[in-house]
Structure 1
Amino acid sequence: MRIAVTGSIATDHLMVFPGSFTEQVITDKVDAMSLSFLVDRLDVHQGGVGANIAFGLGRLGLRPFLLGAAGVDFAEYGSRLFQAGVETTFVRVSETLHTARFVCTTDQDQNQIATFYAGAMAEASSIDLAEVHHEVGGFDLALVGADAPEAMLRHTAAAQALGIPVAADPSQQLARLDAEQTRRLVEGAHLLFTNEYESALLRERTGWDEGEVLERVGTWIVTRAAEGVSILTAKGTRQDIPAVPTDAAVDPTGVGDALRAGFLAGLSWQLPYERATQLGCALATVVLESAGTQEYKLLPADLLSRIDRVYGRAAAREIEPWLEGTA
């Protein structure tokens, strides 16, 4: 399966606050909030939702095409992505702007406060998905991840016009999108990814209830952190897949991106949605145990052990042949 992954390319500045955000908020002063946190650690890593998902797919043995905009400082990052199995030929590199920045602080309860600076991402709308589609011989799936809103809308429209199934993943950009833009990104999607909070925000933005959303998409995949993943369909079916538990959580940044990578890899291998989700959950926990969204070690034996332990031997055996040779 030839997959186009569109979305942000960024540098992550990740900090850890040893206390709890909720203990710092004075509820009757939220209209004049001024918070400052002394953090214990700062880690700088390469990230961005598009790059994270493409990186995971590359590590799982696929060769995804990353379509996003990066800055004048992208050379080293681009080389690293290419070595991980990502096709970076069609990344737009700005001549003047720096790669986007994601600045995130995580507290002891895994709550996060984050800020995102677009930088070169503002040029993502100049990327022509249709042109790349024709140049590479066609895409089988286009994931439209969080990016400049104009780029997200353009990629969605191009994919639909070409008959390419769309995996809609608006995630953090839901806060920036208006009702009409959100509807255009969701309508007709083959897959829709959100986390639990984004599900509520998406319903608020579109004015559609859950049933009305499901009438417009093929399958809605809702991630629920430690509670796992729910797979919803317009036929009224719901399948709940438990998460792969861990006692060694380090940072939740990029966990959802890893789940998407695992799921899409399973989909490309024609695994059923249940198995694809289980693979995604296992990879997500590996990332949860790592500092940085692309710093994890992908060991097939480790993934299979996690899948076997949580989902059973049959699940591990069905996935095992596809993991041979990945690293």
Structure 2
Amino acid sequence: MDRLISVVGHTALDCIVDVERIAGKNESSPVIDYEEHPGGGAANIAVAIARLGGKCQLISPVGADFESSGYENHLKEVGVDLTQLYRLDDQKLSKAFIFNDREDNQTTYFYWGASSKFKELEPRPVDFVHLATADSVYNAKISQIAGFVSFDPGQDLVTYSKENLETILAHTDILFANRHEIKRVSEMTGKSFSELKAIIATIVITYDSEGSRIHTDDEEYLIPIVPVKALDPTGAGDAYRAGFLLAYTRGYPLPTCGKIGATVASFAVETRGPQTDLPTWEKMQARYEAHFGKLEPR
């Protein structure tokens, strides 16, 4: 039976806007088109795990518009466990406003909404938790009462205090970061990459189109991307982490976890929106085997 994966972080609506160019200060730019999609890093990961057939629980504050927006019903239909949501009737859902221009430049504005209350909330103990982009105070609390911790500070790393970051890292079993974030983690903690590897069993660093690298204390695995025609990069990292974590809890070796993550990510970038066309395990396996060869039994 699959292990329950609890995912902590944002549940948000993503408003993706295509513009002629990113406007500067006191400037305007024509909007070509826009779409609204369910998003938020934690919810993206939870949905991807559920689509793959895994057991997933979302731990996130949501606002009064959670039901009326259709988001609640969407998560229920996918099969995400919502029993640990914090329902805040005096708040709105978090919302990301993502602007993309014709040259693939991107600017994002994020409205925290219900997520701004994270630091006031008290977590309950969990078995296996992934800390997605979210509030550092809450993440530090839950990291100390979880059985196993996966951590992805993401773009909210700039809001972390050194104390909270060090508390989380001291309890982290898997750390996910991109090349910029891992450098920032080293700078904030004063620890070299070698020192980080000594205290964290597995570190996964993503390099966009160059794939990812999985580091343990004495091994390094290079994981290539699965090439597809990319339409929208939003949510690719979340899909990667979902595939990786489900494979990890199912007992696959680390290189296979990375390849499964890369395969799931390839589905996310093919369509607009981070949750639009996430695969079942069977669809993922077919693409995995077409690209990497047979997916051996765990």
The question of a shared fold, defined as TM-score above 0.5 by the shorter chain, is answered with yes
TM-score, structure 1 as length reference: 0.84
**Aligned residue in 2 for 1:185:** 168
Alignment check: 8 A CA contact 2:17 2:99 kept: yes
| Aligned-residue identity in percent | 27
Alignment check: 8 A CA contact 1:125 1:154 kept: no
**Aligned residue in 1 for 2:55:** 63
Amino acid at match of 2:4: R
**Aligned residue in 2 for 1:264:** 245
Amino acid at match of 2:135: A
Q: Deviations over 1:113-165 (max 9, x none)?
A: 111111111222344432xx4xxxxx431111111222122222232xxxx11
Amino acid at match of 1:97: Q
More helix by share: 1
Q: Secondary structure at the match of 2:204?
A: strand
Q: How many residues align?
A: 294
Distance 2:282 2:83 in 1: 32
Q: Determine whether 1:277 maps to 2:258.
A: yes
**Aligned residue in 1 for 2:141:** 154
**Aligned residue in 1 for 2:222:** 240
Q: Pick from 74, 82, 86: which aligns with 2:80? A: 86
Distance 1:129 1:83 in 2: 25
Distance 2:103 2:289 in 1: 28
Q: Which runs of 5+ in 1 are unaligned?
A: 26-32, 134-138, 320-327
Q: Which runs of 5+ in 2 are unaligned?
A: none
Alignment check: 8 A CA contact 1:56 1:258 kept: yes
**Aligned residue in 2 for 1:30:** none
Alignment check: 8 A CA contact 1:62 1:85 kept: no
Q: CA deviation at 1:283?
A: 0.9
Written as runs of structure 1 = structure 2, the 5 A alignment for 1:1-327 is: 1-18=3-20, 36-75=28-67, 76-130=70-124, 133=125, 139-159=126-146, 164-235=147-218, 237-246=219-228, 248-300=229-281, 302-312=283-293, 314-315=294-295, 317-318=296-297
Q: CA deviation at 1:63?
A: 2.1
Q: Secondary structure at the match of 1:294?
A: coil
Alignment check: 8 A CA contact 1:65 1:88 kept: yes
**Aligned residue in 2 for 1:136:** none
Q: CA deviation at 1:214?
A: 1.1
Q: CA RMSD in A?
A: 2.0
Q: Secondary structure at the match of 1:57?
A: helix
Distance 2:103 2:265 in 1: 18
Q: Secondary structure at the match of 2:30?
A: coil
